[in-house]
């Protein structure tokens, strides 16, 4: 069988969607070599893939007080510049049939295109095309935040460095940090249903909406405190943009009266003790088994990451979306458009507004019905059968980078 090389980012929201695909490739007899950060080695090796570490640490960028995509894109460009000579030599020696690369993984795309290997792009979020994300000026303002000068310097350095890389390798230079988000691929796997994708009907045939990857985690979860018959409100801001103790304090204030049980997943950078003494009906943990908690939850207050929203839909749980960055604002907008929850913008997150949003959803049977309909759409999106059709094609047959330029992105 063939060798397949996989490149993705070590953030769990990017790793988890690849694992069922990698497992299936291994089961079909392919040799899968997976390049990623050391912190996810165990998850990758559990699929049967061969793990190879990417010796670059993005945690200082991801975990800053105000994470910026400009800083992250620049860090990726530096990583690519440092590692590409070694990666190209290693991958060329493997003589793979193709490359599976995350839509944000710059060096993975560059390896595939420089070596003229078939490239399958996997998007853990929405497929990107005209009208899917907010206008660039709005995105730039959201990304640089209150300190535009560092972000501006990062963009200028990004342009310089990626222009230099483009002279050496097969990769277009970046004009802004948002060029990191690429749909370049001979096939594009999109981890949602077409029914959830904005303008889903406008994407060409090489975009495959395979549905979300929702599966129980293998880790041993921490023990939760006792739960009773009151509605359960689950609050989480994910694993990256979660250093928000003031937001969690607002949640404590919103639900202090005991009408609901509340579980706060605050992440490993916020000590639950900073929230002060908590009443018995509110629990705060660095990590909780999310699918297990969602199976009991009545409402999910979420940062609107794609994986989290997909897991909520899989359990038919309405969402109060409190987006923090990047595509989370688009996902939150889609939650509101489809009537499966409510969206609170950054200026709408007082304790009173959080409580009102939860109160409006907790007993709304129409919202739960729409969640149920979308869950069915996810189940019918393709999932394993769609992946299997692609794998049968020989990973993949065809273009080796020769797709016509006018088909490389969705039409306007």
Query: Phi and psi dihedrals of 210, rounded to 5?
Result: -95, 0
Coil, strand or helix at 209:
strand
What residues have CB less than 8 Å from 340, skipping those under 6 apart?
313, 318, 319, 367, 370, 371, 374
pLDDT of residue 138: 67
> Of 120-134, 273-287, 391-405, where does mean pLDDT reach its minimum?
391-405
**pLDDT tops 90 at residue 61:** no
**pLDDT tops 50 at residue 400:** no
Q: Which residues pair with 16 in a beta bridge?
A: none
What's the mean pLDDT in 62-82? 81
Does 3-211+381-399 match 232-378 in CATH topology? yes
- What pTM was estimated for this model as a whole? 0.83
**pLDDT tops 60 at residue 403:** no
Name the strands in the sheet holding 187-190, side by side, starting at the edge strand that comes first in the sequence. 50-53, 31-36, 3-7, 98-102, 119-123, 187-190, 207-209
pLDDT of residue 389: 56
Q: Is the separation of the CB atoms in 260 and 232 below 8 Å?
A: yes
Number of Cβ within a 10 Å radius of residue 237:
26
pLDDT of residue 279: 94
How confident is the model over 6-35, as pLDDT tens digits?
Answer: 999 988 888 988 998 899 899 988 999 999
**Architecture of the CATH domain 3-211+381-399:** 3-Layer(aba) Sandwich (3.40)
What's the mean pLDDT in 273-297? 91
Q: Is the separation of the CB atoms in 299 and 278 below 8 Å?
A: no
- What average pLDDT is seen over the chain? 85
How confident is the model over 225-236, as pLDDT tens digits?
Answer: 788 999 999 999
Percent helix, percent strand, percent coil in the chain, to nearest 5: 45, 15, 40
Listed by start position, the domains of the chain span: 3-211+381-399, 232-378
How confident is the model over 362-375, as pLDDT tens digits?
Answer: 999 999 999 999 99
Query: Phi and psi dihedrals of 383, rounded to 5?
Result: 50, -135
CA 345 to CA 69: how far, in whole Å?
19
pLDDT of residue 101: 96
| Phi-psi sector, 145: left (phi>0), alpha (psi -120 to 50), beta | left
CA 300 to CA 260: how far, in whole Å?
12
Domain 232-378 in CATH 3.40.1160.10? The answer is: no
| Secondary structure E strands in 37-89 | 50-53
């Amino acid at each position: 069988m063939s060798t397949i090389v996989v490149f993705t980012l070590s953030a769990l929201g990017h790793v988890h969607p690849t694992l069922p695909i990698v497992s299936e490739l291994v089961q079909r007899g392919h040799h899968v070599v997976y390049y990623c950060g050391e912190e996810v080695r165990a998850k990758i090796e559990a699929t049967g893939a061969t793990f190879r570490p990417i010796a670059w640490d993005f945690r200082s960028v991801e975990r800053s007080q105000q994470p910026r995509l400009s800083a992250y894109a620049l860090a990726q460009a530096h990583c690519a510049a440092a590692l590409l000579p070694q990666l190209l030599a290693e991958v060329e020696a493997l003589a793979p049939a193709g490359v599976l690369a995350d839509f944000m993984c710059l060096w993975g795309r560059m390896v595939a295109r420089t070596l003229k290997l078939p490239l399958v792009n996997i998007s853990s979020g929405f497929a990107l095309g005209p009208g899917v994300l907010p206008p660039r000026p709005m995105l730039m303002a959201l990304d640089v935040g209150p300190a535009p000068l560092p972000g501006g310097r990062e963009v200028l350095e990004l342009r310089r460095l990626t222009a230099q890389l483009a002279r050496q390798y097969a990769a277009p230079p970046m004009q802004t940090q948002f060029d990191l988000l690429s749909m370049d691929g001979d096939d594009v796997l999109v981890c949602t249903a077409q029914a959830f994708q904005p303008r889903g009907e406008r994407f060409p045939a090489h975009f495959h909406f395979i549905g979300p990857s929702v599966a129980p985690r293998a880790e041993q979860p921490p023990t939760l405190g006792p739960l009773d018959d009151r509605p359960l409100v689950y609050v989480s801001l994910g694993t990256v943009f979660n250093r928000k103790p003031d937001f969690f304090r607002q949640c404590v204030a919103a639900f202090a009266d005991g009408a609901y049980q509340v579980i706060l997943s605050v992440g490993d950078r916020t000590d639950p003790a900073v929230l002060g003494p908590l009443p018995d009906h509110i629990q705060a943990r660095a990590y909780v088994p999310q699918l297990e908690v969602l199976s009991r939850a009545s409402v999910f207050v979420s940062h609107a990451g794609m994986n989290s929203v997909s897991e909520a839909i899989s359990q038919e749980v309405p969402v109060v979306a409190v987006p923090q960055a990047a595509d989370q604002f688009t996902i939150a907008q889609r939650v509101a458009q489809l009537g499966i929850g409510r969206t609170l913008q950054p200026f709408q997150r007082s304790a009173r507004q959080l409580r009102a949003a939860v109160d409006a959803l907790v007993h709304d049977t129409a919202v739960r019905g729409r969640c149920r309909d979308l869950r069915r759409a996810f189940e019918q999106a393709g999932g394993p059968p769609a992946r299997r059709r692609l794998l049968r094609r020989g990973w993949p047959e065809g273009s080796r980078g020769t797709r016509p330029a006018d088909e490389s992105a969705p039409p306007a």
